Structure 1
Amino acid sequence: MFSEVVVAGQIARDRQELLGGKGANQALALSQLGTSVALLGVVGRDSAGDALLAQARAGRIGTSYVVRRPGTQTARLGDVPAGTLLTEADVFAASAPISAAGSLIVQLRQPAAVALLAARLAHTAGTRVVLDGAPRDDELTPDLLALADVVRADRHDAERLTGQPVPGVAAAVRAAAALRRRGPSLVVLEVGAEGNLFAGPEGTWFVPHVETDVVDPAGAGDALVAALTAALTRRHPLETAASLAVAAAAATSEHPGGRPCLSRPDLDRLQPRRLETVHA
């Protein structure tokens, strides 16, 4: 049985030897939201890799397509050895779950050619393609955008994708419109420290950050992507998906370490009070 969402991204260990990395964090958040999820990533054939896979399975994350790379040490956060990156062969081996999933999240810290292959396999099968970030190879950006259904970028990645700074809401509206003309139907951009802009076929909304006691902002973006994808996979309207995404980001920022810890009471408590309609 295949999963609703496949996450292609980094698996790493933090200082406490806990499961981490963008891909693993997104997969864990999806699982906490009740979405069946499989992780496509790389760990070493070492005790750290064994421990991380056990933690993933305990979190109800499918690990059948996690690659165990001989001779590679399982990565630590902030350290990305070449052996811990996905290859095209790894992606081909996971073509069945990618094609059967409702959505594929592609973390663009992976090699651009590998990300492009994963996006092509998903797009061909009718699987929703969610791109997180900006590719490391600018030459492949047009091809990736053409295959994407959803693009989410923080302010740095948004500038890299568009070639223009995104200092405020008006600039984000222009950047989102430009990106949507290149392929994705939905673009989500971080607007400085103010909030996030959601621009899609149903309309454009700016959602301010939820006021909460921020302990650690790391991982908030991963939770946002995961919650947005979970809602879209279950065909919720964009306004509902945006509200859930922002609440998940806020909930994650209340805990140290960047690991999601999403519960229904917290998500209800942190629902944004308003979504501001923006006329593009």
Structure 2
Amino acid sequence: MTTAPEILVLGSVNRDLIVHAPRLPLPGETLRGQRFGSCLGGKGANQAVAAARLGARVALAARVGLREDGAAMVRQLAGEGVDTRAIAQPADEVPGVALIVVGAADAENQIVTVAGSNGTLPLAQVEALDMTGLRWLVAQQELPLESIARAFERARAAGVRTVLNAAPFRAGGETLLPLVDLLVVNELEARALVLQAVGQPHEEVSHEVLARALRAKGPSAVLISLGADGLCWVDDQGCRRVPARPVTAVDTVGAGDTLVGALVTALAEGQPVEQALAFAQAAASLAVSRPGVQDAMPRRDEVEQLLRT
């Protein structure tokens, strides 16, 4: 990549091992799977690839161990147009791994991750990140929280806006909220995070109330993704609801990462919020309509064509 990135994703890189089954297994149950596949994953890698496919100038800061052919994972990211210069590659570490089961009945999934080299990303690597020219810094919660916090502090000092996709939910994640400009969560993560941040259960309240409770803890804007119920966005202008597009879900793994990558791409381009939300929703709907994770992530022309329909 010859031009400086506008978006920096600080995140995880995993090898995803995906089993498709008739449905999700019950505790202690063994099911006969229908098919198996292995692919590049991790929330950081996914969001960077999603943004790159949609035309963003995006870099990924990560830590990918070279054992278990980690170098091939970095090469694949570069092949997608992601700037990989901020990826450390320790020779003696193993990359992260995600074990994913997808149920054919409803396309829902269960995921277990092992952090591997993602869990060792040091503060020294964060201090070395080049913030020059960046507009947005994006992070998730598959890395050490202290590294994310320091990256957000540095971004704020450099005038770079911060996005936290608080997934997967982790105790202590609420401490990041004062450093966040845009918080993106699903409904379960929103309820869990409100309980941690506010100290009260919010099981029966509306999505708008959840979003406002989270926004009160620091973020300028909060987006709650609601699957088939669309999106709920709250900022200082009020609440916006974006209905979901009609789609037959084939595989929901990676849909949230596609949403984040598309949303930040649109915002970095200066698209108004309503237009950016529609763009992100369209990209996510395309992703869930076909199998795979990064393989399912759409290109720019596909999203623009869908938006014209």
Q: Which has the higher helix share?
A: 1
Q: Please name the residue that 2:73 is paired with.
A: 52
Partner in structure 1 of residue 139 of structure 2 = 106
Separation in 1 of the partners of 2:70 and 2:290? 24
Partner of 2:82: 61
Q: Distance in 2 between matches of 1:82 and 1:49?
A: 11
Work out the CA distance in 1 between the residues paired with 2:293 and 2:308: 21
State which structure, 1 or 2, has the greater radius of gyration over its C-alpha atoms. 2
CA distance 1:166–1:241, change in 2 (3 Å): farther
Asked if 2 retains the 8 angstrom alpha-carbon contact of 1:41 and 1:67, the reply is yes
% identical aligned pairs: 32
Match of 1:257 among 292, 301, 304: 292
* Count of residue pairs brought into register by the alignment: 267
User: How far, CA to CA, are the matches of 2:217 and 2:132 in structure 1?
Assistant: 23
Deviations 1:206-232 (A, max 9, x none): 112211121101111001111111111
Contact 1:202 1:238 in 2 (8 A): no
Determine which of 140, 145, 152 is the counterpart of 1:119.
Answer: 152
CA spacing shift, 1:100–1:137, aligned 2, 3 Å: farther
Residue 206 of structure 1, aligned match among 218, 241, 245: 241
Alpha-carbon distance change, 103 to 166 in structure 1, aligned in 2, over 3 angstroms: farther
**Aligned-partner SS, 1:159:** helix
Question: Do the aligned residues in 1 keep the contact of 2:15 with 2:97 (CA within 8 Å)?
Answer: yes
**Residue 150 (str. 1) matches residue 185 (str. 2):** no
Q: TM-score normalized by structure 2?
A: 0.80
Q: CA deviation at 1:81?
A: 3.4
The answer for unaligned runs of 5 or more in structure 1 is 274-280
1:107 Cα offset (Å): 0.9
1:221 aligns with 2:256: yes
Distance 1:165 1:219, change over 3 A: farther
The corresponding residue for 2:212 is 177
3-state SS of the aligned residue for 2:264?
helix
Provide the C-alpha distance between the structure 1 equivalents of 2:202 and 2:142, rounded to a whole number of angstroms.
21
Letter aligned with residue 141 of structure 1: E
Residue number in structure 1 paired with 2:268? 233
Deviates more, 1:180-189 or 1:58-67: 180-189
Are 2:181 and 2:221, in contact at CA under 8 Å, matched by a contact in 1?
yes
CA contact 1:250–1:270 (8 Å) conserved in 2 = no
TM-score w.r.t. the length of structure 1 is 0.87
Bigger mean CA offset, 208-217 vs 252-261 = 252-261
> Given the alignment, which residue of 12, 15, 38 partners 2:14?
12
Of residues 149, 152, 164 in structure 2, which corresponds to 1:131? 164
Whether the aligned pair in 2 keeps the contact of 1:207 and 1:272 (CA below 8 Å) is no
- Residue type at the aligned position of 1:159: R
Alpha-carbon deviations, 1:125-181, whole Å to 9, x = none? 11010000156342x624x211111000111210122113466xx611111112222
The residue aligned with 2:24 is none
2-structure distance, mates of 1:228, 1:51: 28
